A and B are shown apart, each in its own frame.
Chain A
Amino acid sequence: MTTVTADERVAGAGPLRRLLVRPELGSVVGAIAVFAFFSAQSPVFRSADGVANWLDPASTLGIMAVAIALLMIGGEFDLSAGVLTGTTGLVMVTLATRYGWNVWAAMLAGLVLALAVGFANGLLVVRTKLPSFIVTLGTFLMLQGLNLGVTKALTGTVQVSGLRRAEGYQAARSLLAGSVSVGGVEFRVAIFWWIGVTVLATWVLMRSRAGNWIFAVGGNEQAARAVGVPAARTKIVLFMTTATAAWLVGSILALRFTSVQANSGIGQEFIYIIAAVIGGCLLTGGYGSAIGASIGAVIFGMADKGIVFAGWDADWFKFFLGAMLLLATLANRLVRRYAEEVRR
């Protein structure tokens, strides 16, 4: 398709090898295996209702994993992304319930705050040239402290609640946290947001200039800069994208539960990274895929609910997580090595 004259040195760069060098291959294989495993354990798991059930946790995780994947392809980490979902939710519910804001206005305030945090993360990373692991670990701890401190000071408890009574709640809920009936099965609307985010991110990565720049700044920032790529701007926008995703997920969860715990989102940041890595992202940047991160999130959703369907103790989830991470990274590495080897 791409070569006009066949070159004798291209020893069958055929469809199989093209497929193998796709970063998401490992996650696809993993997802099929996990699906087969839990389907064998429980018929409910593979029913339409079961699918709708495990796609739900996959959706909010998936939105975050896709954003984190973009950031990781751009060569950076964001450890503050999980706790930021809590921060945006807390801000929204607090403004709507204690200060009488309209839910939409409260959501907008959450977005502005999230963008500010993302911008600050990005600016600090590109200006100080410190590893983003450290910078965002700092933001993570600061936000964690703020979430608890402010919530306690305002309410005397560790949660804010009562969003149901706020003005504009019903409309916002149906847009972000309601469900849609497809063929008699109720699917959470967040699932469609997640699919939309994945499609958009994939388009940006593969079919826009910005996507080229993301791969480039993650692959070799100096080289990218030398040919005129706006590396600093690209990275700052990536951090702001992650923050926007955190706002979206924070809002979805707040609208669904109508209350937010002050410690919500903590510990999730590593799950996002794990999903992105299972989906083929390199920890060193410059390589990965948005679809892969989404499939990584599906694996998590299936394991999360599958363990319940199979009637096991939920404690096994963590064990499963770790095993998946190791297997997927090993598979990814083998596949990539094989692909590079035969291409030489």
Chain B
Amino acid sequence: MTPPLLEARDVGKVFGSVIALRGVSLLVRAGEVTCVLGDNGAGKSTLIKILSGVHGQDTGEYLLDGVPVRLGGPREALDRGIATVYQDLAMIPLMSVWRNFFLGSEPVTGPLRRLDVARAKRVARDELRDMGIDIRDVDQPVGTLSGGERQSVAIARAVYFGARVLILDEPTSALGVKQAGVVLRYIARARDRGLGVVFITHNPHHAFPVGDRFLLLNRGTSLGQFDKADITRDELTSLMAGGAELDQLAHELDRDGPDRDAAPGAATGP
């Protein structure tokens, strides 16, 4: 059996006196989506910062293709094919779509190393279209795109630049129902292209439809990693809410029962 693209084993992270993460394990395979769920402050961002090379873990092991590694920084993670899309710092708002798309890896031509603008625009437009992203005009500033479109462009960029693992930090949390659905569709498309996806969210309704595996975090510790076959949407929701609130939640869910199993994105965030 081929080793997983990316694996974290019992990783932990301490910030001064704050134990942000303790004994968390995570598995990412090619063509699969691993969802990381947890409430605010559960340690989701800390975990993906370890995966994307921003932080080094204090305990535990980090393996790429079955080999333990220690990343020197975000650039090394990128070079190894681990691309991260952050909710707030994905794009430069005042720069055009095509400039953002190629930022950091601009195509050049000729002895003067001139920017190959024509090619960059063409590739950006084609790639976005292939991902099914309908951008009006690659010359328009990214700031004029909607939040969902912006996330989608960032995902398309990561896919184009040969990412093998795509990490998305709460890409749907600030989005409306429709927009979240759009982003979920791109996540599925990236997965179908054979990427391993790590999808961070605090909304089980977003995670369940696309996820193959679910890691639940609570106050820095793991509540377990579940395959899709082993868990239902209701169980996922109640695990996230925590045992004590289970009854209350079940009650609430029962009252607006029909919404519960609605289409992806139909449920709004907390």
Contacts of A225 in B (CB 8 A): 74
The stretch that binds B, out of A47-55, A56-64, A149-157, A206-214, is A206-214
A134 at the interface (CB under 8 A from B): no
Residue of B nearest to A229 (CB): B104
Chain B residues 72-90 with CB under 8 Å of chain A are 74-75, 78, 84, 86, 89-90
B65 at the interface (CB under 8 A from A): no
Q: How extensive is the interface on chain A, given as a class?
A: 20 to 34
CA distance A340 to B94 in the complex (A): 10
B231 at the interface (CB under 8 A from A): no
Contacts of B254 in A (CB 8 A): none
Residue of B nearest to A285 (CB): B94
CA distance A216 to B92 in the complex (A): 6
CA distance A10 to B134 in the complex (A): 12
A224 at the interface (CB under 8 A from B): yes
B97 → chain A, closest Cβ, in Å?
Answer: 11
Contact A229 B89 (CB under 8 A): no
B140 at the interface (CB under 8 A from A): yes
Contact A10 B106 (CB under 8 A): no
Contact B104 A10 (CB under 8 A): no
Contact A208 B113 (CB under 8 A): yes
- Per-residue CB contact flags for chain A residues 289-303 toward chain B (1 = under 8 Å, else 0) read 000000000000000
With A209-B108, A225-B74, A286-B94 as known contacts, state yes or no: A343 contacts B115, CB within 8 Å: no
B70 at the interface (CB under 8 A from A): no
A96 → chain B, closest Cβ, in Å?
Answer: 36
A9 at the interface (CB under 8 A from B): yes
Residue of B nearest to A287 (CB): B94
B138 at the interface (CB under 8 A from A): yes
With A10-B137, A228-B75 as known contacts, state yes or no: A219 contacts B93, CB within 8 Å: yes
Contact B99 A212 (CB under 8 A): yes
A4 at the interface (CB under 8 A from B): yes
B27 → chain A, closest Cβ, in Å?
Answer: 25
Which of B90, B91, B115 sits near A209, CB closer than 8 Å? B115
- Per-residue CB contact flags for chain B residues 224-250 toward chain A (1 = under 8 Å, else 0) read 000000000000000000000000000
Chain B residues 91-119 with CB under 8 Å of chain A are 91-95, 99, 102-106, 108, 113-115, 117
Contacts of B84 in A (CB 8 A): 226
B29 at the interface (CB under 8 A from A): no
With A2-B138, A2-B139, A212-B115 as known contacts, state yes or no: A220 contacts B92, CB within 8 Å: yes
Contact B115 A9 (CB under 8 A): no
A174 at the interface (CB under 8 A from B): no
- Per-residue CB contact flags for chain A residues 206-249 toward chain B (1 = under 8 Å, else 0) read 11110111011001101111111100000000000000000000
- Per-residue CB contact flags for chain A residues 1-24 toward chain B (1 = under 8 Å, else 0) read 011100101100100000000000
CA distance A344 to B149 in the complex (A): 13
Contact A215 B95 (CB under 8 A): yes
Which of B91, B102, B134, B144 sits near A223, CB closer than 8 Å? B91
A269 → chain B, closest Cβ, in Å?
Answer: 25
- Per-residue CB contact flags for chain B residues 168-196 toward chain A (1 = under 8 Å, else 0) read 00000000000000000000000000000
Residue of A nearest to B93 (CB): A219
B55 at the interface (CB under 8 A from A): no
Contacts of B99 in A (CB 8 A): 212, 215-216
B143 at the interface (CB under 8 A from A): yes
Contact B104 A3 (CB under 8 A): no
Contact B102 A212 (CB under 8 A): yes
Contacts of A211 in B (CB 8 A): 115
Contacts of A2 in B (CB 8 A): 121, 125, 137-139
Contacts of B141 in A (CB 8 A): 340, 343
Which of B93, B115, B137 sits near A3, CB closer than 8 Å? B137
CA distance A202 to B108 in the complex (A): 17
Residue of A nearest to B85 (CB): A226
Contacts of A287 in B (CB 8 A): 94
Chain B interface (Cβ < 8 Å from any Cβ of A): 74-75, 78, 84, 86, 89-95, 99, 102-106, 108, 113-115, 117, 121, 125, 134, 136-141, 143-144
Chain A interface (Cβ < 8 Å from any Cβ of B): 2-4, 7, 9-10, 13, 206-209, 211-213, 215-216, 219-220, 222-229, 286-287, 340, 343-344
Seed contacts A207-B114, A220-B92; 20 additional CB < 8 Å A-B pairs: A3-B136, A7-B136, A10-B136, A13-B139, A208-B113, A208-B114, A212-B99, A212-B102, A212-B106, A213-B103, A215-B94, A216-B104, A220-B91, A222-B89, A223-B89, A223-B92, A227-B78, A228-B104, A340-B144, A343-B140
